[in-house]
Amino acid sequence: MPSPTADTLGQPTLRHRERMPDLTVDLAPGAKRELILRNPVMTASGTSSNGLEFARLFDINRLGGLLSKGVTLKPRRGNPTPRIVETPAGMLNSIGFQNIGVRKLLNEVATVWETWDVPVVVNMLGDTVDEFARLAQVLDGAPGVAGLEVNISCPNLDVGGVAFGRDPVAAARVTEAVVTSTTLPVIAKLTPDVTDISVVAKACEEAGADALCVANSFVGMNIDVNTRRPRTNRPVAGLTGPAIKPLALRLVWETARAVDIPVIGCGGIVDGRDAVEFLLAGASAIQVGTASFRDPFAAIRVLEELIEYCRDNGVSDISELIGAVQVD
């Protein structure tokens, strides 16, 4: 066998190319601007900062998409410490949306995003409907920004966040304000802290959302039995990690049955089979979050395991998995 040359090193063999499934996902069909992912694996907001650190560890362009750390109009210091507590099969976080503000994000971070081939979606939050609209206007057309994820579900704030996401009317108002203020694809990130998530999902769809992310963290609590005080700075915090996966999976399934726009599954995904479960439940794409704290390569590993699953099971196109769960 001849030795590989410099031109062939790292290139897929013919057999590899023949077996490679089509993983392309369109997250905004019919939108003003397209949001097409080369594969369905994205990072989750707040778990990979703005991607700059990950880009030093692996080829960031292998991902389907990257979610920025949540941003607001002005910089925020976030909640006081302690802000993170490990729990069985998960973690509680109460960061409070610490961020550098949208102007600094565009001036110092988006200029790097512009050099990448992976689409970057900016997670954004406002305290009022008007703030959401103003953020959308500032981000519209910014180099390096491929879409907006509207955070109406953060549980660690006194105003905004989950207060919008619990009410379908308020959620629709925020979504519509953003949609009418931008040409970018708009993803509404929903809270699990509702009686019927399909009601909020349909309200956001009718308001013009191009896709939905299901879901943000669950509200949880942890108490120090010695001090008899909560272990986080606020009495309650956001629970993430493998512990919430069955709950998030159910919410994705319910949402996907209720709407006709793409759903992004998020919650407790740590490996390729978790990703497949969310796809089968109806998600068109998935986000890897808390797993990245333990393993910075988690999203890449999930992608590789997803590809291997498709090859082993004769899946030639990722669309064959989406919503293919058999419940009868």
Supply 142's token pair.
Answer: 């910014």
Catalytic site includes residue 154 = yes
Can you tell me the distance from the alpha carbon of 53 to that of 61, in angstroms, rounded to the nearest whole number?
13
Angle (nearest 5°) at CA 306 between 300 and 312: 140
Alpha carbon separation from 16 to 39, 58, 64 (Å, rounded)? 17, 21, 20
Sign of the CA dihedral running 137, 139, 140, 143: positive
Can you state the angle between helices 245-258 and 197-206, rounded to 10 degrees? Answer: 50
Of the residues 154, 204, 213, 266, which is catalytic?
154
Q: Which residues contact 271 (CB under 8 A, 6 or more apart)?
A: 301, 302, 305
Residue 195 burial by Cβ neighbours in a 10 Å radius (0-12, 13-18, 19+) = exposed
Secondary element (H or E) of residue 136 = helix 129-139
Residue positions annotated with a catalytic role: 154
